[in-house]
Every structure is written in structure tokens, then in C-alpha cells.
């Protein structure tokens, strides 16, 4: 299932916000665990995030909710609103990189909030409110990984980050048409990365034909293992970092 904005998917997370420009979410095709509001400005202060958790099981109740807050771009001044029937446990962690604010240097932040003791029945949902003092101003996206535990022991892991994606060949025309309607955005060309277990030439050739049909200029295709084929097929931009710098350690 492909992630979509503002909703979550079973295999993966969570909650996120798109922002004017801070936050974004992975998507779910089934349940819709969400965070509200859907957007906040970078560096926003004194606000509230509401995590809406639905119960999607017919024969079990939700008995535990764990939300993990990012610590690489920490949310500062977190306070949990009391929730009737639920007990909240707040976990702090020492930040690898302290945050400097007008009030001084912050060296720790909330990394996890766990709610237990209550229940969310079948066909019901619960809103969990979390107040914050300040959102980070150095990122365009925040993700809140979440675990949802049911009374029968089932744990739904909303943990997968939103992923970058592209357009299928049959979607390119519509995407290009949409980009042309955008006042401050101009499409200069197309890019592709062929499947590693397939001959790249047919993919490069198809992209060139698509580029020519649309009347674009650039073709970004080809990496260290196949850039020569890409150039033969008309590439104007290649990515050959490994050939220049050598293998880099995987993170």
C-alpha cells in the first residue's frame, strides 16, 4: 500500500502533519489513525496535537497506545492533557544535539507517550491531546511512530516512514499537465531508475521517447553501473557518485 498524506497505514505509521511547512504523514488504506490539525507552520509555538485512534477490530478493544516523538527534530515543551479513564506515561530522552531557544539550551525532550488503563471499543475512537511549546523549524516533516495494542494481544505497528515515490508511465501525462498549471514550478525533464534486476536499456529508451513526446529537455537516468547505456540512450544527467568516490558505508 502506498503512503498518502495525512492518513496512516497498518504496516506503517502514523501520524504526521503537512505544514506550511512542517509535517507529513504516511498513509493507510484501511484504518485512519490521524493527527490534527493537518498542518502547522515551522517553529509554531503553544499549540496542540490531537492523535485520533480508531478501533478497527470487531472482537477486541484497544487497551494501549504508544506514540513515539522524533528526537532528531524534537518537539519542545510537551504536556499531556489528562484523558478520562487513561493513564499517561511520559518518557524523556537526552538529545544528541541540544536545541538553543530564547529561554536557553534544551538538552532533553519527550520521546514517547504511552496511554494505558482505558479502552476503545469496536466502532469507536479516542482523541489523545498533546500540547507543545514549540515545533522544530529545521524540517519540512515530522513523523510520529505509533503502536496500538488490543485486548487480544494483537499489536498494530504504525511505524513505516513516508516514502518518496514517482509516477507510473501512464500517469506522466497527467502529472506533467498538473505541473504546467503551477505558477512557480517548471518541469525541465524526466528521471528514472530501472529495476536493478532488469536490462536498463528498454527503460531508458522509453523515458527518452516520453521526454521527446512532451517536448522536454533533460533526461536524468543512469548511475555508476549503467550510465554508459544511459548516455547511449540520450541521458543529459547521470549520477555516478560511486564511480567517483567509491563505495560508501550503508547507514
- State how far the Cα of 169 lies from the Cα of 188, in Å rounded to an integer: 17
Per-residue burial over 219-249, b if 16 or more Cβ lie within 10 Å, else e, is bbbbbeebbebbeebebeebbeeeeeeeeee
In sequence order, the 6+-apart residues with CB closer than 8 A to the CB of 155 are 147, 148, 149
The residues spanned by each domain of the chain are 15-158, 169-245
Supply the angle between the helices 200-214 and 172-180 in degrees, to the nearest 10: 40
| Cα separation, 145 vs 128, whole angstroms | 15
pLDDT at 165: 64
Looking at the domain 15-158, which fold is it? Immunoglobulin-like (2.60.40)
- Can you give the pLDDT at residue 226? 92
Find out whether 69 and 109 touch, Cβ atoms under 8 Å.
yes
pLDDT for position 162: 54
Amino acid 153: pLDDT: 92
Q: Could you give the CA distance from residue 224 to residue 167 in angstroms, rounded to a whole number?
A: 23
* Cα dist from 88 to 28, 64, 110, 228, 239, whole Å: 26, 10, 13, 58, 49
pLDDT along the chain (251 residues), means of 10: 26 36 36 75 90 91 94 94 96 92 90 96 94 89 88 83 69 88 87 86 94 94 92 94 73 45
Residue 129: the pLDDT is 96
pLDDT of residue 64: 96
Residue 169: the pLDDT is: 84
> What's the confidence (pLDDT) of residue 210?
93
Quick one: residue 222, left, alpha or beta (phi over 0 = left, psi -120 to 50 = alpha)?
left
Nearest-angstrom CA–CA distance, 111 and 92:
5
Strands in the chain per DSSP E: 15-17, 34-36, 45-54, 62-68, 79-80, 87-101, 104-120, 125-134, 142-150, 155-158, 189-192, 218-223, 237-239
Amino acid at each position: 500500500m502506498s503512503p498518502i498524506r495525512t492518513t496512516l497505514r497498518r504496516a506503517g505509521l502514523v501520524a504526521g502533519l503537512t505544514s506550511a511547512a512542517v509535517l507529513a504523514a504516511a498513509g493507510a488504506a484501511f484504518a485512519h489513525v490521524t493527527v490534527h490539525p493537518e498542518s502547522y507552520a515551522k517553529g509554531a509555538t503553544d499549540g496542540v496535537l490531537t492523535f485520533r485512534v480508531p478501533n478497527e477490530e470487531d472482537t477486541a478493544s484497544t487497551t494501549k497506545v504508544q506514540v513515539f516523538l522524533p528526537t532528531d527534530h524534537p518537539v519542545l515543551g510537551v504536556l499531556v492533557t489528562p484523558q478520562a479513564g487513561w493513564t499517561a506515561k511520559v518518557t524523556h530522552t537526552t538529545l544528541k544535539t541540544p536545541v538553543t531557544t530564547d529561554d536557553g539550551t534544551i538538552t532533553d525532550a519527550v520521546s514517547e507517550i504511552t496511554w494505558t488503563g482505558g479502552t476503545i471499543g469496536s466502532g469507536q475512537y479516542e482523541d489523545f491531546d498533546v500540547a507543545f511549546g514549540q515545533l522544530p523549524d529545521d524540517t519540512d516533516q515530522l513523523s510520529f511512530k505509533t503502536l496500538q495494542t488490543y485486548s487480544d494481544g494483537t499489536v498494530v505497528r504504525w511505524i513505516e516512514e513516508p516514502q518518496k515515490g514517482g509516477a507510473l508511465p501512464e500517469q506522466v501525462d497527467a502529472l506533467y499537465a498538473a505541473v504546467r498549471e503551477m505558477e512557480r514550478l517548471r518541469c525541465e525533464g524526466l528521471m528514472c531508475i530501472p529495476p536493478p534486476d532488469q536490462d536498463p536499456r528498454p527503460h531508458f529508451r522509453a523515458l527518452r521517447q516520453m521526454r521527446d513526446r512532451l517536448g522536454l529537455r533533460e533526461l536524468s537516468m543512469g548511475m555508476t553501473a549503467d550510465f554508459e547505456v544511459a548516455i547511449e540512450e540520450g541521458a543529459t544527467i547521470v549520477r555516478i557518485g560511486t564511480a567517483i568516490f567509491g563505495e560508501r558505508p550503508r547507514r
